[in-house]
Amino acid sequence: MLAVNAAVEAAHVGAASAGFESNTNEIRGLAQRVKGAAERTRTLPRAAHGASYGGRVDAKELEVHFTEMVDGVSSITDSIETIAEATRRQQESMRAMAEAMRSIQEVTDNNARSANDSSNAATGLTEETSTLARLVGQFKLDMSQANRQPEPLNSNLSASRGFRDSTDSFELETA
């Protein structure tokens, strides 16, 4: 609008005075620049509006992405807490297993000692049995007296069978 006014004024001035022709050209040039500036001024708010709209869209997209990121981090945090709890439970189970293994080891050690003691006792009994069998084998039995009632034991009997006294060791008479 300003440009049209300037052009009209320039035409009036041009017609009124031929001497002002150079001024008219300047005014026309100025009017053209004003017209161009007015057009740019008209497009700038539209461009700014478009840019602000685009900025709002971008901001909303960023908000959505940030929300997704927060949700993702929250999910990861929950997963880490779940893993940590599972690790604590596993650690407690491992401690219980280690304690059970120690108990089993103690029982195994006790069983091994008992088995060793039993083996030593069996070896000792075997040796004593062999000695007793050898000593019993030295006795001669009279089979005619096998059905006879045994005589009661008394101190005279011990002395007659070869015992020196009741606190001393004995000697067997061998055949």
Closest CA relative to residue 38, chosen from 85, 5, 83, 78: 5
What's the pLDDT at 47? 78
Does pTM top 0.75 for this prediction?
no
CA distances in angstroms from 67 to 55, 81, 164, listed in the order given: 18, 21, 109
Residue-range domain boundaries for the chain: 2-126
What's the pLDDT at 105? 95
| b/e per residue 145-166 (b: at least 16 CB within 10 A) | eeeeeeeeeeeeeeeeeebeee
User: How sure is the predictor about 91, in pLDDT bands with cuts at 50, 70 and 90?
Assistant: very high
The DSSP secondary-structure symbol of 150 reads: P
Q: How far apart are CA 140 and CA 175, in angstroms?
A: 7
In CATH, 2-126 is 3.40.50.1820 = no
User: How sure is the predictor about 163, in pLDDT bands with cuts at 50, 70 and 90?
Assistant: very low
What's the pLDDT at 168? 44
CA distances in angstroms from 69 to 73, 74, 152, 155, listed in the order given: 6, 8, 105, 106
105-146 per-position pLDDT tens digit: 999 999 999 999 999 999 999 999 999 988 888 876 666 665
